[in-house]
Every structure is written in C-alpha cells, then in structure tokens.
C-alpha cells in the first residue's frame, strides 16, 4: 500500500540530531506520532504511522524532525516490509528529514500558551529529493518550557515530487489492487522536552 510520509511536513521529516547538547528542546519519541493515510481501490482509506522519530529545536530556532523510514507501522508485517524495501528504498534512503527555521517565532514560542503558526517555510528531504513546504502548526508551550507541536492542517505528500511513483505501482501490482493513491495526507503531534 502506498504509505509515505511526512511527514508534517512534519515530513513531517521527521531530524538528524547533531549537536544535541546545544539543543534547547528534544523530541520525546514515546509521546510523539507522525501518521499518514493511504487510499486504495479509490475509496478505502487506511491510517498508519511511524514508530521511530527524533527531533530538536535549537536555541537559534532551527527545527528538525527525523523519521526512520524502516519504522512504518501498518499493522500488516508484509506490508511494512514492502513499504520499507520497495517504496522507501530504506537501504539507500533510511530517513526522511523535515527542517524549518523558527528563529522569528522563537520569542513567541517561549511564552507559555497556545499559538497557531501558519505558513511556516519548511523543507522535506525524502528519498533523495528536497521540496519546500508551507506548514501550519499549533504550538502549545507549557509553563515548564516543554512544547507540543501538532499539524494544524494535513500536509499532502505527492509521490511524483519525490520520484517514488514507480514504487507505488510496484506495491499496487504485488497487492493485486486496481489503484493506490499517489498522494497521502500526513499529520503529526510531537512533544519536545526542554533540556
């Protein structure tokens, strides 16, 4: 089945965690989720998610989320394996990474409260291709400085943009399906712990 990110975008995308010691917030994998919906036979929708995410928001406002593409969970083991090997080609492209510069939003984010940030300029690096995205998020900042970042609107990921349409067709043939949609909506809910 065609299950690709985002990864919000968030594609969500979702971070190569380098220099973790300098990061002010670190993503908590067990309190975060990046989900995607695939559509087969023109009308059957199936929700899946990735189980392994990493991420950070630095003191300078550099935001990134790294999605381990081998961790897709569709609740069908053979489908998980096919997604990883055939669609994502995870032996070559192990991760999808979403990055954004939130430096101009950082002062707002640091204040306790809830904020809708629209049209954030982000970039998704997936399957060897990079694409700019405009992402809408809802940020909740707790009194202790921890952050919740969730997609305010779904991110639509199109297979043609990342050159994986051939993989979608292979999955369709293996599964004996008349169709698998070439575009999927991605949503995310991420929790970041202040360091």
* Statement: residue 19 has pLDDT above 50: no
pLDDT at 110: 85
- For residue 60, give the 3-state DSSP assignment: coil
pLDDT at 23: 57
Mean pLDDT of the chain: 89
**Quick one: pLDDT band at residue 32, thresholds 50, 70, 90?**
very high
What's the rounded Cα separation, in Å, for the pair 114 and 65? Answer: 21
* Statement: residue 137 has pLDDT above 70: yes
Phi, psi of 163 (to 5 degrees): 60, 45
**Quick one: pLDDT band at residue 94, thresholds 50, 70, 90?**
very high
- Estimate to the nearest angstrom the gap between the alpha carbon of 194 and the chain centroid: 21
Phi, psi of 70 (to 5 degrees): -85, -5
Cα–Cα distances in Å, from 18 out to 48, 58, 73? 28, 11, 26
Place of tokens 């575009």: 183
Task: Report pTM.
Answer: 0.86
Give per-residue pLDDT as tens, 172-195.
999 999 999 999 999 999 999 999
pLDDT at 85: 97
């Amino acid at each position: 089945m065609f299950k690709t990110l985002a990864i919000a975008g968030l594609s969500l995308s979702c971070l190569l965690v380098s220099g973790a010691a300098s990061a002010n917030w670190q993503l908590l994998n067990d309190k975060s989720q990046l989900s995607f919906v695939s559509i087969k036979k023109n009308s059957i929708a199936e929700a899946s998610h990735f189980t392994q995410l990493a991420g950070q928001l630095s003191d300078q406002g550099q935001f990134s989320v790294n999605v381990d593409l081998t961790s897709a969970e569709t609740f069908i083991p053979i489908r998980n394996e096919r997604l990883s090997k055939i669609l994502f080609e995870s032996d070559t492209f192990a991760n999808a990474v979403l990055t954004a510069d939130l430096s101009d939003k950082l002062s707002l984010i640091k204040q306790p409260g809830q904020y809708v940030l629209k049209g954030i300029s982000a970039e998704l690096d997936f399957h060897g291709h990079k694409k700019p995205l405009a992402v809408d998020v809802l940020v909740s900042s707790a009194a202790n400085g921890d952050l919740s970042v969730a997609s305010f609107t779904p991110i639509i990921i199109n297979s043609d943009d990342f050159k994986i349409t051939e993989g979608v067709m292979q999955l369709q043939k293996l599964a004996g399906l008349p169709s698998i949609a070439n575009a999927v909506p991605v949503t995310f809910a991420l929790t970041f712990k202040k360091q």
